[in-house]
Amino acid sequence: MPSRRVLYLESDGQVYLVRKDGLWTFPDEGAKLDFTYGVRHSTKIRDVVVSFCRPALKEFPSHWMFKDEVPLRTDVDPLVQRAINASLARCVVGVVLANSKDDVLLVKSSRGFTKGMWNVPGGFIEYGEAPEVAAAREAKEETGLDVEVAELLGVYTERFESPYFMYGFMYAAKPKDEKARLQPDPTEIEDLRWYPARAAIEATRNPFAIQALARRFSLPLPPGFPRRTLPA
């Protein structure tokens, strides 16, 4: 059972905190507030349930704490720091890499939370990197192929059973040279294989990849698939 249930109240980068035991922290769930709010998401950080809320305010709360200042302060509850870190979306790319036969290249990772799973090539966007540049880089690193990145198939969001939301920028691409040798990074990829598009959808468990594959090849999503997407 969680020991605490608290409210993360944020408006335009300003976070509502209260003083408790010498630290600025979140108000407890049920605390009396001067405004109303709606809960958007809840997650557990350590043994505390944190509900991310949108407050209903009449004006900008300039007297609240600016979230970007929190990591620099020593008088803030570590829970607040962890929750603010969790509120920052992680951005990844994925590449639907198809050849002239419309077969799709999938890779099987040897590490990370996708270890042992078939997936489209992809990974985290590096600091200051454009998504399409990251797509070409990740494809090269994971397959050894130089690719031509084409259209953006969609931008999708998922929490993956963690406090962190990810935004997946999914691109269509093709090899610049189909005769080039596949050379996966042995420290990251244990196997790779060309799949027909329908089989690729069945082989992967990544919801970003499933939606992008379905869009790229005009195929239906699997029955009951939860469609959470941002327009491309």
Q: How far apart are the first and last CA of the chain?
A: 40
φ, ψ for residue 85 (rounded to 5)? -60, -40
Give the C-alpha separation, 20 to 146, whole Å: 55
Residue 161 has pLDDT above 80, yes or no: no
By CB neighbour count within 10 A (0-12 exposed, 13-18 middle, 19+ buried), where does 94 fall? buried
The whole-number average pLDDT for the span 149-174 is 91
Domain annotation for the chain: domains and CATH numbers: 4-87 (3.90.79.10), 90-230 (3.90.79.10)
Structure confidence at residue 36 (pLDDT): 96
Residue 212 has pLDDT above 60, yes or no: yes
Contact 139, 109 (CB under 8 A): no
Work out the percent of the chain whose per-residue pLDDT is above 70.
Answer: 96
The whole-number average pLDDT for the span 138-146 is 95
Residue 131 has pLDDT above 70, yes or no: yes
Q: What is the pLDDT of residues 18-51, one digit of tens each?
A: 999 999 999 999 999 999 999 998 889 888 999 9
The whole-number average pLDDT for the span 65-81 is 95
Q: How confident is the model at residue 188 (pLDDT cuts 50, 70, 90)?
A: confident
The whole-number average pLDDT for the span 144-171 is 91
As a 3-state breakdown, the chain gives helix, strand, coil percent values, each rounded to 5, of 20, 40, 40
Q: How confident is the model at residue 231 (pLDDT cuts 50, 70, 90)?
A: very low
Q: How confident is the model at residue 114 (pLDDT cuts 50, 70, 90)?
A: confident
Amino acid at 113: F
Nearest Cα residue to 77 out of 132, 129, 140, 28: 28
Report the mean per-residue pLDDT for the chain: 92
Q: How confident is the model at residue 232 (pLDDT cuts 50, 70, 90)?
A: very low
